[in-house]
Amino acid sequence: MIGLGLIGGSLLRAASAGGRTTWGATESAVDAETAVADGYEVGTDVAGALRKAAERDAIVVLAVPLTGLDEVLRLVAEQAPSCLLTDVTSVKAPVLASVRRLAPGARFVGGHPMAGGTSSGWAAGNPALFTGAAWVACVEPDTDLAAWAEVSTLAIELGAHVVPVAAAVHDEAVARISHLPHLLAAVLAATGAYGGPLAASLAAGSFTDGTRVAGSRPELVRAMTEGNREALLPVLDEALGRLGAARGSLASTGGLAATLNAGHEGARRIADLRGAARAAVQVSLAAPDARDGLCALGERGGRIVGIDGSTALGEVA
Amino acid sequence: MIGLGLIGGSLLRAASAGGRTTWGATESAVDAETAVADGYEVGTDVAGALRKAAERDAIVVLAVPLTGLDEVLRLVAEQAPSCLLTDVTSVKAPVLASVRRLAPGARFVGGHPMAGGTSSGWAAGNPALFTGAAWVACVEPDTDLAAWAEVSTLAIELGAHVVPVAAAVHDEAVARISHLPHLLAAVLAATGAYGGPLAASLAAGSFTDGTRVAGSRPELVRAMTEGNREALLPVLDEALGRLGAARGSLASTGGLAATLNAGHEGARRIADLRGAARAAVQVSLAAPDARDGLCALGERGGRIVGIDGSTALGEVA
């Protein structure tokens, strides 16, 4: 485990609790000391931790911010060039491009556990963080499916279910359901605060809910939104178009029915999709079209809940 | 009590539980029947309920949607032309204009309890709905302060604290902290749903929080947002400006620091204002500048927590 913040620290704890042999490294001497005091094998020597991973044929998990990723990938190429490599970064196409450029020999499977919180650092970690969470494990045309199965098995062991999709498809979806919400929360919080103490004293549920994630550390939100620039721009334009249409309609006819009905219908549709009954399906990882099958399942909202030899056990609505 | 939906029904229950003599009328025969079965004096004869209020010198509370208000105000002018009148509608300047036009003899105090929920109708009512809530009781240059004190006493009895401000000032504040959140939630829900089943399967906390109020009944949200058109348009333009600036910055330099820092700072400022220590203050309702004093207190984020004779007992940070 390279990096021991909220996600890396939770992952190390959960994998250890599940009986795996784990070790980690972090640039933060404070986090390393605290993790050692908590009984984990952790240090500040990233190269050494990677060398050991190469010797033991371990899964290397990169849990560092996107901005620090290239530096660690150079160490991976030096110390563990053909390791089984995954990451937990919240954007996937830029990470895939970096790995192809800097550590092309690694058996790489991009990962993204959809779990987090507004706290950060080793101390905020929680081994139950991934229980019930979606965990994207990327499938590209050249993905090594044995490596994909190993990463997926780890995610499932930690209580998550696996969503298999291509990196670019992931990035478009999280722009909609994670990065846009963070930007709208920031806009709402700034606009609300501009109303001064009266606005603060009248703020109730709709404002509190709509601004909760504006309390997240801005540098973490910047890393994920700025890192997903290519996918986020068209989604941001779509939201601007919808909000601009609402503005135009309110100014001209005075009506907001189209905006509010579309929002209500969208909320209902997403709730229906999330609550839909799911049927069990199997995907043979040995089949020639296995990668297409996995991606199709992920794009339909399906999930992998088990790996049995060379068969992925899925659920789809 | 005219109108027995979520707010009216909760108010009737709470006022009855507090020992007041209450009666009500609603156009909904189903709600009236259920309320009678629950032991309340309720019917469908609005004119009769208003006549009785005139005979008994009761406070008349209008808890009907904005779209049905003018019709009821015409009945007020016929049946109880000089009654003590208040309302619970979520916009205040348009209601004030309607009262001045249709029931000019009423001793009117505009009201808005900042409480609600996504359910509606008599069955959704809850006498504890107002506990801890802000309740705006409007103060205009010509407000009868004895009437204002009676309405405020009722709100405080029901567990709320009173925020005194002018109708137009209220409307600007709620555009920021209630109506804009509803519009952004609708835009986010529609944009998220456009991402199909994959977006739904990956949606986590930031999306769920940001879209919660998109589940509200669209016709109720329409009534409050469309009814506040004049105050909402400039606030909507401000939000569009902030979101457009984020878009421009992401497209040009790739940076979102200004947007995200302003959001984080705004959220912190509002949390600080809400958590600030408050000192007790008194406002004499007999003083010549009492109306100005009350409005200044409300605009500073202050609140009235008691009425003692002709003195309003306040708290301000």
Nearest chain A alpha carbon to B171:
A199
**ipTM greater than 0.90, yes or no?**
yes
b (16+ CB within 10 A) / e for B170-182: bbbbbbbbbbbbb
Query: CB B225 to CB A250 under 8 A?
Result: yes
> Choosing among B138, B170, B184, which should be mutated to test the A contact, i.e. which has the most A CBs within 10 A?
B184
pLDDT number for residue B167: 98
> Choosing among A206, A273, A294, which should be mutated to test the B contact, i.e. which has the most B CBs within 10 A?
A206
Tokens of A236: 């941001």
Query: CB A173 to CB B216 under 8 A?
Result: no
Residues of chain B with pLDDT under 70: 117-118
- Select from A202, A243, A317 the Cβ nearest to the Cβ of B173: A202
pLDDT number for residue B204: 83
**Structural domains in chain B, sorted by start:** 6-166 (3.40.50.720), 170-274 (1.10.3660.10)
- Select from B201, B233, B267 the Cβ nearest to the Cβ of A214: B267
Taking the alpha carbons of A37, A40, A41, A43 in that order, is the dihedral positive or negative?
Answer: negative
Nearest chain B alpha carbon to A300:
B197
d(CA B187, CA B214): 9
pLDDT number for residue B118: 66
pLDDT number for residue A118: 66
B156 lies within 8 A of chain A by CB = no
Among residues B15, B24, B107, B17, the alpha carbon closest in space to that of B62 is found at B24
- Tell me the pLDDT tens digit for each residue of B240-291: 999 999 999 999 999 999 999 999 999 999 999 999 999 999 999 999 999 9
> Residue by residue, what is the 3-state secondary structure of chain B?
CECCCHHHHHHHHHHHHCCCCCCEECCCHHHHHHHHHCCCCEECCHHHHHHHHHHHCCEEEECCCHHHHHHHHHHHHHHCCCCEEEECCCCCHHHHHHHHHHCCCCEEECEEECCCCCCCCHHHCCCCCCCCCEEEECCCCCCCHHHHHHHHHHHHHCCCEEECCCHHHHHHHHHHHHHHHHHHHHHHHHHHHCCHHHHHHHCCHHHHHHHHHHHCCHHHHHHHHHHCHHHHHHHHHHHHHHHHHHHHHHHHCCCCHHHHHHHHHHHHHHHHHHHCCCEEEEEECCCCCHHHHHHHHHHCCCEEEEEECCEEEEEEC
pLDDT per residue of chain A (317 residues) written in tens, 0 to 9: 999 999 999 999 999 999 999 999 999 999 999 999 999 999 999 999 999 999 999 999 999 988 899 999 999 999 999 999 999 999 999 999 999 999 999 999 999 999 876 677 899 999 999 999 999 999 999 999 999 999 999 999 999 999 999 999 999 999 999 999 999 999 999 999 999 999 999 998 899 999 999 998 899 899 999 999 999 999 999 999 999 999 999 999 999 999 999 999 999 999 999 999 999 999 999 999 999 999 999 999 999 999 999 999 999 99
Query: CB B317 to CB A197 under 8 A?
Result: yes
Strand partners, A234: none
Query: CB B193 to CB A266 under 8 A?
Result: yes
* Total beta-carbon pairs less than 8 A apart between chain A and chain B: 373
Query: CB A206 to CB B213 under 8 A?
Result: yes
B133 lies within 8 A of chain A by CB = yes
Query: CB B210 to CB A237 under 8 A?
Result: no
Chain B residues whose CB is inside 8 A of the A271 CB are 215
Angle at which helix A93-102 crosses helix A167-174, to 10 degrees, equals 140
Chain B residues whose CB is inside 8 A of the A247 CB are 233, 236-237, 240
State the smallest CA–CA distance between residue B105 and chain A in angstroms.
30
> Choosing among B114, B188, B247, B304, which should be mutated to test the A contact, i.e. which has the most A CBs within 10 A?
B188
Residues 248-287 of A with CB under 8 A from B: 250-251, 254-257, 259-271, 273-274
d(CA B229, CA B298): 23
